[in-house]
Amino acid sequence: MRILLAEDDSVLADGLTRSLRQSGYATDCVSNGQEADSALSTQDFDLLILDLGLPKMNGHEVLRRLRARNSHIPVLILTAADSVEQRVKGLDLGADDYMAKPFALSELEARVRALTRRGACGAPTMMKHGPLSYDQVGRIAYKHEQMLDLSARELGLLEVLLQRTGRLVSKEQLVDHLCEWGEEVSNNAIEVYVHRLRKKIEGDGVRIATVRGLGYCLEKIQPAGNSRPQDQVSGQE
70 Cβ partners below 8 Å, 6+ apart? none
Distance between CA atoms of 32 and 172, rounded to whole angstroms? 27
- Hey, what CATH class is 2-118 in? alpha beta
Query: In the chain, what are the domain boundaries?
Result: 2-118, 126-220
Tell me which CATH code domain 126-220 carries: 1.10.10.10
Whether residue 3 is predicted with pLDDT greater than 60 in this model: the reply is yes
C-alpha–C-alpha distance, residues 148 and 134, integer Å: 10
Query: Structure pTM?
Result: 0.60
**pLDDT for residue 230 is more than 60:** no
33 residue type, one letter: G
Query: Over 90: is that where the pLDDT of 39 sits?
Result: yes
Considering only CA atoms, which of 7, 18, 63 is closest in space to residue 40?
Answer: 63
Closest of 81, 77, 82, 69 to residue 96, by C-alpha: 77
- pLDDT tens figures, 158-209: 988 888 887 888 888 888 777 766 666 777 888 898 999 999 998 778 889 8
Model pLDDT for residues 108-126, shown as the tens digit of each residue:
888 888 887 665 444 556 7
